[in-house]
Amino acid sequence: MEEEKSLSLVSSFSDTYRNNMGMLMLVCSILVSWIFMHRWNQRKKKGPKTWPLVGAAIEQFMNYDRMHDWLVKYLSESKTVVVPMPFATYTYIADPANVEHVLKTNFNNYPKGEVYRSYMEVLLGEGIFNVDGELWKRQRKTASFEFASRNLREFSNKVFREYSLKLSSILSQASFLNQQVDMQELFMRMTLDSICKVGFGVEIGTLAPNLPENGFALAFDTANIIVTLRFIDPLWKIKKFLCVGSEAQLDKTIKTIDDFTYSVIRRRKAEIEEARATGQEDKIKHDILSRFIELGGNNSTDKSLRDVVLNFVIAGRDTTATTLSWAIYMIMTHDHVAEKLYLELKTFEEDRAKEENVSLHQCDTDPESLNQRIMQFAKLLDKDSLEKLHYLHAVITETLRLYPAVPQDPKGILEDDVLPDGTEVKAGGMVTYVPYSMGRMEYNWGPDAASFKPERWFKDESIQNESPFKFTAFQAGPRICLGKDSAYLQMRMALAILCRFYKFRLVAGHPVKYRMMTILSMAHGLKLTIERRS
């Protein structure tokens, strides 16, 4: 009897096991069939491999450190690439017609959007680069008025010259001592000092000869990196809620940024009130913060001013510094460009010296005599004279074509739409135009698209402009960059001085590649040695 019960239990267990195994095999076969059918349906589609549930997240994650070049590969095969992700579908575009549709024709349908805003709000708040609608329009109108101000232009020109000379002095010393320098770090310091002077009206001194560390600068860089990681980190909201990992670090960096920013705002408000109370309004500074405080009156909260200024810092510091870094790299790796640029600058100097009957000092005997000669040259440089240096302008513009400061720019989608090439995009997704890829597309620039060729910007010996929907380094349409002229002014000023008096060489074995951030900075800096030019 006992034996029969045992056999019955074994038989029952076997039946259950077979049923469960059968069910498991059925589920597995359905899952495999589902994956097979998904992949089969994707076989003719161009773009990255996609999988059920996770979309293209696996391939994108594996290529994260080289994501811009990953997109170049797919956008060279198709002008529009659709990349499904777990929580949204990204549509990447490189065709100027599609870009014009998104940035201008149907502008209102493609705002920054809540997804982008949620990623960047901790750093940019409700500043001009992170808002839409009426709030954006009001800030845009005020900023447009300010950039047209003659006082701000003259103040900026003075500041840009001052800090370009400080940078040159550091390079002069390095050239006599045969020291290596990290050019990107120096440019970051120069542009941070410059934008803090133009934006806040304060001297923070990161470009001092001993190159001191600055808590605000370090915090700003760290925050920029972490918010960029949010774009591919599906767990960032959980980490933020639990205050762990990168999000805990972000909280600390934002506190450092805010402490500095709010202290400057309070000090500037007090200075303006004192100037008004004593009838010395003419002593109110011409920096952007002071102008926004004056224009906003009692309606300007410390938080709104904080957001305004930090948006100008990220726009005027990182973008200019990275472009200058890539420009120096392009110049020194293309000897004919370096020599042609040097000849333009030397000829300019000699012609102006003749016009003003000025004798030029010798400049290669010691750092002091070199610095005096460079200061003499810098006095010749203002907005009008710099605009006459056409080859310099072409070098900067060609750098921006291949190495745009903002390599990708995503937009939200409010309503379903159809792009000019027939691509359907769905509400709630994202459309991203890709300046980095656009500059490398043969269908945009011809068979030499990947080549660094400043001469492409000339026609009949005059500079020619391209459509902003093709050359998208400064965006286009209603959001086109208001600081374009200011950025060109600073870059022309710095490069005119540096490329007239120095030759740069890359330190042997130093790797040059980009780091994944919102800005196209170099991952390992730009380590150089400096030679003097006569």
Annotated binding-site residue numbers: 481
DSSP 497-523: HHHHHEEEEEPTT----B-SSSS--BT
CA 375 to chain centre: 31
Q: How far apart are the C-alpha atoms of 174 and 182, rounded to whole Å?
A: 11
Please report, as a single letter, which amino acid is at residue 452. F
CA 8 to chain centre: 73
List CB contacts of 505: < 8 A, sequence separation 6 or more. 332, 528, 529, 531
Strands 89-93 and 430-433: parallel
Collapse the DSSP code of 80 into the 3-class scheme (helix H, G, I; strand E, B; otherwise coil) and give the result.
Answer: strand
Q: Which positions make up the binding site for heme?
A: 481
What is the torsion angle, in degrees rounded to the nearest 10, for the CA atoms of residue 388, residue 505, residue 190 and residue 384? 0
List CB contacts of 432: < 8 A, sequence separation 6 or more. 90, 91, 92, 93, 408, 409, 410, 411
| Residue recorded with tokens 């305004």 | 308
- The alpha-carbon radius of gyration of the chain (Å, integer) is 28
Summary count for the chain: helices (H), strands (E): 21, 11
CA atoms within 13 A on the CB side of 31: 7
CA-wise closest residue to 75 among 57, 65, 90: 90
How many other C-beta atoms lie within 10 A of the C-beta of residue 358? Answer: 13
- φ, ψ at 462 (rounded to 5°): -120, 150
Q: How far apart are the C-alpha atoms of 417 and 101, rounded to whole Å?
A: 10
What is the torsion angle, in degrees rounded to the nearest 10, for the CA atoms of residue 19, residue 25, residue 26 and residue 27? 110
How many other C-beta atoms lie within 10 A of the C-beta of residue 504? Answer: 20
Q: How far apart are the C-alpha atoms of 49 and 210, rounded to whole Å?
A: 50
Q: Which residues of 275-295 are buried (b: 16+ CB within 10 A; e: fewer)?
A: beeeeeeeebbbbbbbbbbee
| Residue recorded with tokens 């200058």 | 324
List CB contacts of 275: < 8 A, sequence separation 6 or more. 281, 283, 284
| Helix or strand (DSSP H, E) at 527 | strand 527-532
Residue 381 near residue 495, CB atoms below 8 Å: no
